[in-house]
Amino acid sequence: MGYEILGLPMAYYIAMVLKVLVVFVFVLLTVAYSTYAERKIIGHMQVRLGPMRTGWHGLLQPIADGVKLFFKEEIIPSKADKFAFLIAPLIALVPAFIGFAVIPFGETIEVGGYKIPLQIAAYYDTASGQVVDLNVGVLYILALASIGVYGIVLAGWSSNSKYSLLGGLRSSAQMISYELAAGLAIISVFMLSESLSLQKIVADQANGAWYAFKQPLAFILFFICSIAEINRTPFDLPEAETELVSGFCTEYSSMKYAMFFMAEYANMVTVCAVTTTLFLGGWHGPGFLPGWFWFVAKVYFLIFTCMWIRATYPRYRYDQLMRLGWKVFLPLTLINIVVTGIIVSL
Amino acid sequence: MIMPLINGLKITLKHMFMKPVTLQYPDERPTPSPNFRGLHALKVSHSKAKCVCCYLCPTVCPAKCITVEAGEDQDHNKYAERYEIDMLRCIFCGYCVEACPVDALKMTGEFELANYKREDFVFVKERLLEK
């Protein structure tokens, strides 16, 4: 414990690396098994069984899928822009994962006299006795969500195929319009918490009621907009099979396709984690179980809701999607902000 | 506007807890209904096929898949010396069973008729006899 690097004790760095490893592996496993869960849940909702053959009740299915995709032939279209084509899956995948850096997933734990807050981008400041985290955490998440659009647009453009281009264009238009409404829905949370730090937002909800109860409209709008932003049913127009083959990832194969697939599910996990943090009280729950358990339970419930929605609703038409985003959600979030502002100032 | 959406969610949730209708096919097999029209069988009576070789079944067959040749046994009775059904042509309409005046033909629940060779799809009399 004696060593110090840049004025911080060694344990700080060890704890940081450990937190990154644990969270990354956990998110990766969740991503892998959410593909399995999705197939199982949708299967049962359609009174089918879902995967049953690989392992007990198909439990090895994600591994089998991964191995299969890994050994597939890598095909790059000869007219494609090679550099953009190769980098697009990475741009889609990385922001989906690093969004987790600012999400608090548990209470501060104490290991060997050293306090570790369960949030990657945070440390315990012994001088002030407080947990210090990124003070613009929510902006960071919104920024990463916007970067994710580039991956999809680049993939669509660089493939040099009409289906990919149309898928990419649709996706960018959709993500930009819904990001606006999602951002405005979050503003009403800021108005209550008076902070952009996720630690502060979670602590605020622990003291009072969850923001889902204080801001039910913002909660529902944010969740729906998030589903639209991550291109899931009923807003999965970029990959509408019936009209666009497979959308922006039509020309992709092998591991690069798997990366888009993982990005989609990682985005879903991240969005559910953000919704939990902003509206469902983060890791707070009845004290008999640790904070991380409640966090994971809430996130998994939201993931289940995403799959439930996918099993229930048909896809929106493109003009309906745009109308819903600009003419319904945007005015509703604005009204919500005005009403919140009036109530807060009273 | 909201209620139909919620009702939809309710329906899918209800269906999630229903028993899946899937049969894990090679392990679990369906039991065909009694009037299922599968592979034909020639009925046997007194250890002989009941068929009297009247040619009504090849006549009525819309797919022309039945070949019958008559023969004479030691009691000077007409019997089917050759009775073949080409399963690649058969459309499983069951008209042959309906047409049979002596109730010598029936259709079983056997539906797994895949084979490796074309010749194997022509079911000769021995293969058609009721087990």
Question: What number is the ipTM of this complex?
Answer: 0.74
Structure-model confidence comparison of residues A131 and A257, the more confident one: A257
Residues whose CB is less than 8 angstroms from the CB of residue B99 and which lie 6 or more positions away in sequence, other chains included: B56, B57, B59, B60
Token pair for A104 = 């608090």
Structure-model confidence comparison of residues A4 and B14, the more confident one: B14
Q: Mean of the pLDDT values across residues B77-100?
A: 92
Structure-model confidence comparison of residues B124 and A201, the more confident one: B124
**Are B15 and A312 within 8 A, CB to CB?**
no
Q: Mean of the pLDDT values across residues B76-100?
A: 92
Confidence of residue B116 (pLDDT cuts 50, 70, 90): very high
pLDDT-wise least confident of A86-95, A147-156, A280-289, A302-311: A280-289
Q: Mean of the pLDDT values across residues A175-198?
A: 85
- Asked if residue B98 belongs to a domain, the reply is yes
On average, the pLDDT of chain B sits at 90
- Asked if residue B40 belongs to a domain, the reply is yes
Q: Mean of the pLDDT values across residues A182-195?
A: 86
Residues of A in contact with B17 (CB under 8 A): 44
Question: Reduced to 3 states, what is the DSSP secondary structure of residue A116?
Answer: strand
Token pair for B129 = 């006899």
How many interchain CB pairs under 8 A, A with B?
Answer: 34
pLDDT at A2 over 70: no
Could you tell me the end-to-end alpha-carbon distance of chain A, in angstroms, rounded to an integer?
A: 51
Question: Quick one: pLDDT at residue A237?
Answer: 73
For residue A130, list its beta bridge partners: A125
Q: Mean of the pLDDT values across residues A244-267?
A: 82
Confidence of residue A153 (pLDDT cuts 50, 70, 90): confident
- Asked if residue B18 belongs to a domain, the reply is no
Q: Mean of the pLDDT values across residues A117-130?
A: 76
Q: Mean of the pLDDT values across residues B38-57?
A: 90
Residues of A in contact with B19 (CB under 8 A): 47
Give the minimum alpha-carbon distance from B18 to chain A in angstroms, rounded to a whole number. Answer: 6
Question: Quick one: pLDDT at residue A1?
Answer: 47
Cβ–Cβ < 8 Å for A63, A136: no
Give the minimum alpha-carbon distance from B46 to chain A in angstroms, rounded to a whole number. Answer: 48
Q: Mean of the pLDDT values across residues A105-116?
A: 78
Residues of B with CB under 8 A from a CB of A: 5, 8-9, 11-13, 15-22, 24
- Asked if residue B34 belongs to a domain, the reply is yes
Confidence of residue A177 (pLDDT cuts 50, 70, 90): confident
Q: Mean of the pLDDT values across residues A322-337?
A: 90
Confidence of residue A77 (pLDDT cuts 50, 70, 90): confident
Give the minimum alpha-carbon distance from A80 to chain B in angstroms, rounded to a whole number. Answer: 42
pLDDT at B62 over 90: yes
Q: Nearest 5°: phi and psi at A61?
A: -55, -50
Question: Quick one: pLDDT at residue A240?
Answer: 63
pTM across the whole model: 0.84
Nearest by CB: A45 against B16, B22, B24: B16
pLDDT one-digit tens code per residue, A278-289: 888 878 878 788
pLDDT at A290 over 80: yes
- Asked if residue B15 belongs to a domain, the reply is no
Distance separating alpha carbons of residues A328 and A180, to the nearest angstrom: 12
Cβ–Cβ < 8 Å for A171, A156: yes
Q: What's the domain count of chain B?
A: 1
Give the minimum alpha-carbon distance from A328 to chain B in angstroms, rounded to a whole number. Answer: 13
Closest alpha carbon to A62 in A25, A32, A31, A26: A32
**Are A45 and B13 within 8 A, CB to CB?**
yes
Distance separating alpha carbons of residues A77 and A69, to the nearest angstrom: 18
Question: Quick one: pLDDT at residue A211?
Answer: 84
Cβ count near B59 (within 10 Å) = 13
pLDDT at A91 over 80: yes
Q: How far is CA A264 from the centre of its chain?
A: 9
pLDDT at A196 over 60: yes
Question: Quick one: pLDDT at residue A192?
Answer: 85
Q: Nearest 5°: phi and psi at A189?
A: -75, -45
Q: What is the CATH number of the domain that holds B60?
A: 3.30.70.3270
pLDDT at B122 over 70: yes
Nearest by CB: A308 against B9, B17, B21: B9
Q: Mean of the pLDDT values across residues A11-34?
A: 87
Structure-model confidence comparison of residues A235 and B67, the more confident one: B67
B54: exposed, middle or buried (Cβ count in 10 Å: 0-12, 13-18, 19+): middle
pLDDT at A99 over 60: yes
Distance separating alpha carbons of residues A32 and A216, to the nearest angstrom: 31
- High-pLDDT (> 90) share of chain B, %: 55
Find the domain containing B116 and state its range. Answer: 23-128
Best of B16, B21, B23, B25 to mutate (most A CBs within 10 Å, chain A): B16
**Are A48 and B21 within 8 A, CB to CB?**
yes
- Asked if residue B13 belongs to a domain, the reply is no
Confidence of residue A315 (pLDDT cuts 50, 70, 90): confident
pLDDT-wise least confident of A20-29, A248-257, A294-303, A335-344: A248-257
Q: Mean of the pLDDT values across residues A10-24?
A: 84
pLDDT at A127 over 80: no
For residue B68, list its beta bridge partners: B83
Residues of B in contact with A49 (CB under 8 A): 20, 22, 24
Nearest by CB: A47 against B9, B15, B24: B15
Cβ–Cβ < 8 Å for A236, A318: no
